[in-house]
Chain A
Amino acid sequence: MSSNITLESGAPVATQAAHKPLSDTEVVLETEALCKYWGGLKALDDLSLQFRDRQLHGIVGPNGAGKSTLLNLLCGTYSPTRGRILHKGEAIESIKPYEFSRRGIGRGFQKTNIYPSATCLENCSIAAQRRVGGSFNIFRSRHSEKLLTEMAEQALEKVGLAHRRDAVASRISYGEQRQLEIATVLATAPCVLLLDEPMAGMGHEESQLIIQLLKTLKQDYCIVLVEHDMDAVFELSDQLTVMVDGQHLITDTVDQVRDDARVQIAYLGQGDEVI
């Protein structure tokens, strides 16, 4: 089904999107002809996108479209087969995975990824300590620094978990764990947040909480959001990219994407398709 779509669209869609000025905020993260192949499988093919400051960039697409691959490339978990990743104009595709966070690219995982046996505060302290430094100091007590604790508390406050400060992370609800994960990323003082399905497996109320949270956060950060919950994505995104089979289909505002014929085909199939 997907091969039809790319043929049908004809012109390379990536360039079409890149030239359209959607907003005037600064581009903080950018990919240029980014490819990731696993042997013969093209998980991601020739993707050029721009992510802007203080905007939420939604990425949607059917399963296997390469959304998670894209996030893994953007945070350094995978290295690209070809192409470039630019952070504020500098090529970063070949730096070490841990250096991505130091550059301000923070990542949330698809599966909740926290320190389950530590308290919420400690979870954020681990993150904040990266910024404060002194992580090789064996003489300084881990609880001695006010600044560090304050930073961790601020991060908890931002996501609305201040009341869970001393609760052990494994004992709080699933939704709260997702919030905590975002808090740990915030504690590293990022400029870009890469979020992989933060609302997966959540009930309606919990989802609403995260949506409100993301609405607030996007005023300060560049957010790249991969999400299956279409209502949420439509509500939140300033720009929306649709991907199909590792290929870029369209990047535009939500309204434009919603009306695009190719998107409807990608999701709903063509009328004459044999099922």
Chain B
Amino acid sequence: MFTNRAEKLFIWVFFPLALLMPLLLDQNTYYVNKLATILILSIFVMSLDYLVGRCGLVTLGHALFYGLGGYLFVMLAPEYEAVNFWIYTFYVLAIASVVALIVGFIVLRTSGIYMIMITLALAQMCFYFFSDSTEFGGNDGVFIYVKPETHVFGLNLFDLDNPTHFYYLCLLSLFNCLLFFKLIMRSKFGRIVDAVQENPERTTALGYNVFHFRLASYVIASALGAYAGYLFALQYGFVNPSMLSWQTSGTALVMSILGGLGTLYGAILGTLVYEGLHYGFEHLTENWLLPMGVLIILMVLAFRHGLAGYLESLLEKRK
């Protein structure tokens, strides 16, 4: 399934290392939490990477689903009662898919710059709706007082309040997410997704309804984006409108481009490096955005196909 050498290398280094990380950090709560957030963000960025890099659908409103994942949980779950994690995961995925179907039906009628604008507009609408609403805490957002329990078939595998447990849940989710997207890309469905991206005109002429394939991809990516938002909400125990802001969409897009558009594993790479730089510069200077911005521009210019592309070219040379 993983045919690319750089991809294989990355996966064999990243996942075992990530598996050992909580032990290496001696269960230091701060860092384990921080890394779990990066894993969650990687899921979000990967879903965006699939849309932008694999389907050619550039959206600036992917945060709509990230926020939706969080807010859906707050809306659905009773305030002072532990609900089942797995059942609510299903709810979030199902409802986000329905919302994505409707949103996709509208936004996919446009393309290019128009699609960027309309996705941005819809996400901003959602942002202002939640930041002005009194039921959902307005700008401050909502607290989640009780975290879900994870009983399944009488087994209690995880305790979501335990940072290390939560970290492993995120890692497992990320791994499954990557496997799922790889599965899609090597399937018969993936063949047409590739075809649609490379030459939509030809694909239509061969008798495929391009719109259906784009819509299906949009729903898949949006549902996984919502799942990431749901995990994020559970990790910190609150949701607020900033999850829906255009900065969230924009940052994810930068991470995805930095990692190498369309490579999927590059999404993890991009998120790691971005967050790593963020952490480093934040501790160096108060005005961390400036040097970091410059560095990212330089990196994007230097690595034409992102960090993943650079890794691939390195391996190519050594061959």
Are B198 and A116 in contact (CB-based, < 8 A)?
yes
Q: How far is the CB of B245 from chain A (nearest CB, A)?
A: 32
Taking the complex as formed, is A48 at the interface, i.e. its CB lies under 8 A from any CB of chain B? no
CB neighbors of B among A50-95 (8 A): 75
Q: How far is the CB of A218 from chain B (nearest CB, A)?
A: 21
Complex alpha-carbon distance, A118 and B202, angstroms = 13
**Which stretch from B109-117, B146-154, B182-190 is at the chain A interface?**
B182-190
Complex alpha-carbon distance, A98 and B209, angstroms = 6
Q: How far is the CB of A252 from chain B (nearest CB, A)?
A: 30
From A113, A127, A136, A145, B201 is in contact (CB under 8 Å) with A113
Complex alpha-carbon distance, A40 and B202, angstroms = 30
Are A118 and B198 in contact (CB-based, < 8 A)?
yes
Which residue on chain A has the smallest CB distance to residue B216? A136
Taking the complex as formed, is B210 at the interface, i.e. its CB lies under 8 A from any CB of chain A? yes
From B198, B199, B206, A130 is in contact (CB under 8 Å) with B206
Q: How far is the CB of A137 from chain B (nearest CB, A)?
A: 5
Complex alpha-carbon distance, A185 and B209, angstroms = 16
CB neighbors of A among B197-247 (8 A): 198-199, 201-210, 212-213, 216
Query: Given the interface contacts A115-B195, A118-B194, does A137 sit within 8 Å of B206 by beta carbon?
Result: no
Q: How far is the CB of A238 from chain B (nearest CB, A)?
A: 25
A-chain residues with CB within 8 Å of residue B216 when the two chains form the complex: 136
A-chain residues with CB within 8 Å of residue B292 when the two chains form the complex: none
From A101, A118, A141, B187 is in contact (CB under 8 Å) with A141
Complex alpha-carbon distance, A99 and B208, angstroms = 8
From A96, A97, A102, A117, B198 is in contact (CB under 8 Å) with A117
Query: Given the interface contacts A101-B206, A118-B194, A184-B206, does A137 sit within 8 Å of B188 by beta carbon?
Result: yes
Taking the complex as formed, is B83 at the interface, i.e. its CB lies under 8 A from any CB of chain A? no
A-chain residues with CB within 8 Å of residue B213 when the two chains form the complex: 135
Complex alpha-carbon distance, A135 and B187, angstroms = 9
* Residue among B184, B199, B201, B213 having the largest count of chain A Cβ atoms under 10 Å: B199
B-chain residues with CB within 8 Å of residue A99 when the two chains form the complex: 207
Query: Given the interface contacts A118-B198, A136-B216, A188-B207, does A125 sit within 8 Å of B187 by beta carbon?
Result: no
Are A130 and B208 in contact (CB-based, < 8 A)?
yes
Query: Given the interface contacts A125-B191, A135-B192, does A114 sit within 8 Å of B202 by beta carbon?
Result: yes
Are A107 and B205 in contact (CB-based, < 8 A)?
yes
CB neighbors of B among A127-181 (8 A): 127, 129-130, 134-143, 145
Taking the complex as formed, is A126 at the interface, i.e. its CB lies under 8 A from any CB of chain B? yes
Are A126 and B192 in contact (CB-based, < 8 A)?
yes
Complex alpha-carbon distance, A116 and B194, angstroms = 12
Are B199 and A188 in contact (CB-based, < 8 A)?
no
Tally of B interface residues using CB under 8 Å: 26
Complex alpha-carbon distance, A143 and B3, angstroms = 14
Digit string of A104-122 for contact with B (CB within 8 Å is 1, else 0)?
0011010001111110001
B-side binding surface: helix, strand, loop or mixed? helix
Are A129 and B202 in contact (CB-based, < 8 A)?
no
Are A138 and B206 in contact (CB-based, < 8 A)?
no
A-chain residues with CB within 8 Å of residue B204 when the two chains form the complex: 97-98
A-chain residues with CB within 8 Å of residue B210 when the two chains form the complex: 98
Are B207 and A98 in contact (CB-based, < 8 A)?
yes
Are B202 and A142 in contact (CB-based, < 8 A)?
no
Complex alpha-carbon distance, A141 and B190, angstroms = 9
Are B183 and A113 in contact (CB-based, < 8 A)?
no
Complex alpha-carbon distance, A184 and B207, angstroms = 12
From A98, A115, A122, A138, B208 is in contact (CB under 8 Å) with A98
* Residue among B184, B188, B208 having the largest count of chain A Cβ atoms under 10 Å: B188
Complex alpha-carbon distance, A21 and B195, angstroms = 43
A-chain residues with CB within 8 Å of residue B199 when the two chains form the complex: 113-115
A-chain residues with CB within 8 Å of residue B209 when the two chains form the complex: 96, 98
CB neighbors of B among A17-65 (8 A): none
Complex alpha-carbon distance, A141 and B3, angstroms = 14
Are B189 and A126 in contact (CB-based, < 8 A)?
no
Q: How far is the CB of A7 from chain B (nearest CB, A)?
A: 38
Are B207 and A142 in contact (CB-based, < 8 A)?
no
* Residue among A113, A116, A126, A136 having the largest count of chain B Cβ atoms under 10 Å: A126
Are B187 and A142 in contact (CB-based, < 8 A)?
yes
B-chain residues with CB within 8 Å of residue A116 when the two chains form the complex: 198
Are A138 and B195 in contact (CB-based, < 8 A)?
no
From A102, A137, A143, B189 is in contact (CB under 8 Å) with A137
Complex alpha-carbon distance, A101 and B208, angstroms = 8
Are A115 and B198 in contact (CB-based, < 8 A)?
yes
Query: Given the interface contacts A113-B199, A118-B194, does A139 sit within 8 Å of B187 by beta carbon?
Result: yes
Are A101 and B207 in contact (CB-based, < 8 A)?
yes
B-chain residues with CB within 8 Å of residue A118 when the two chains form the complex: 194-195, 198
Query: Given the interface contacts A98-B210, A117-B198, A118-B198, does A75 sit within 8 Å of B205 by beta carbon?
Result: yes
Query: Residues on A close to B: CB < 8 A?
Result: 75, 96-102, 106-107, 109, 113-118, 122, 125-127, 129-130, 134-143, 145, 184-185, 188
Q: Pick 17 A–B contacts, CB within 8 A, sort by A.
A: A96-B209, A98-B208, A98-B209, A106-B205, A109-B201, A118-B194, A129-B192, A135-B191, A135-B192, A136-B189, A136-B212, A140-B187, A142-B186, A142-B188, A142-B191, A184-B202, A184-B206
Q: Which 7 A-B pairs have the closest CB atoms?
A: A101-B207, A142-B191, A138-B189, A138-B187, A102-B207, A130-B207, A126-B195
Contacts A98-B209, A118-B194, A126-B192 supplied; 9 other A-B pairs, CB < 8 Å: A102-B207, A106-B205, A113-B205, A115-B195, A115-B199, A130-B206, A138-B189, A140-B187, A145-B188
